[in-house]
Structure 1
């Protein structure tokens, strides 16, 4: 189980992370996810703040995730190492890798600068697609 979680989780998490970013102008198209973020967090800025806090709270290696729970509600969680939200019966919408190796060459120990820059390249169209798929699976 441990080697499957570490290796399989590592592959899954990194593919999900890298596929969730874009330099395309379409990244601003969050669709229904935008509405859900406003409903759940009050405004997009409040979501950014809470997500940033969660990402900063990871000690050592891990990820911060935006997920959908069993009731279709958005939830921000963190996972350690290569753990995924799937084992918690949560459906992932987007993630940021907060392992130091993800940002150290550019941002050194400034994780907060990395998180800010990551928000500039999130592919919101892709995240919206994941969100809609999560809702289908929950119904």
Structure 2
């Protein structure tokens, strides 16, 4: 069965004014769709055409890996956003953030520093390592922690198409908007 473009978990206008409907149309409707189409073109008629996307990412390389990882990263990214503004993490996730970073504000500062240091395109992640520790990591281009031992909890897309329409080349303003949309419940649900 071919890989499907996942529906957004909210309407295209739900993230405004932080992320515009125009950006979501371009980002989800064109870029994400293009990655899904590229995966399907490369797996058609192979043993991978019945694999879930996560398994394709873990078992591929080259152009197929790049398309599959981008498709997976984007699908995960949409889940990390939610139109509810102003919420903070709670429960086990909040406890782990406080233990690992000091508080949520310090996590944001470390995450933003790491995201601003990515030259070109990539991703900023909050991950849980195999030993349970939380960490901020970045990946370049299509790379993803999905292929390693860390569990992704939260991601911010740092590719220019994620923010150029709304913020031009001002990545810091985009990151400030990102924090107003973080779906902490989804991040908490990823904890192992």
TM-score, scaled relative to structure 1 = 0.90
Richer in helix (by share): 1
1:84 is matched with 144
Question: In the alignment, which of 65, 69, 93 is matched to residue 33 of structure 1?
Answer: 93
Distance 1:28 1:61 in 2: 28
Q: Give 3-state SS (helix, strand or coil) of 2:123's partner.
A: strand
- 1:98-137 correspondence runs (5 A): 98-131=158-191, 135=192
1:73 is matched with 133
- Is there any run of 5+ residues in structure 1 with no aligned partner, and where? none
The answer as to whether partners of 1:26 and 1:125 remain within 8 angstroms in 2 is no
The answer as to whether partners of 2:145 and 2:151 remain within 8 angstroms in 1 is yes
The structure with the largest alpha-carbon Rg is: 2
1:56 is matched with 116
Distance 1:9 1:44 in 2: 28
Distance 2:170 2:152 in 1: 26
After TM superposition, the runs of 4+ consecutive aligned structure 1 residues lying more than 6 A away are none
TM-score, scaled relative to structure 2 = 0.66
Distance 1:123 1:14 in 2: 15
CA RMSD of aligned residues (A): 1.4
Q: What do residues 90-137 of structure 1 show as CA deviations (whole Å, max 9, x unaligned)?
A: 110000001111111110111000000000000011111112xxx2xx
Q: Give 3-state SS (helix, strand or coil) of 2:66's partner.
A: helix
Richer in strand (by share): 1
Question: In the alignment, which of 45, 52, 55 is matched to residue 105 of structure 2?
Answer: 45
- Is there any run of 5+ residues in structure 2 with no aligned partner, and where? 1-60
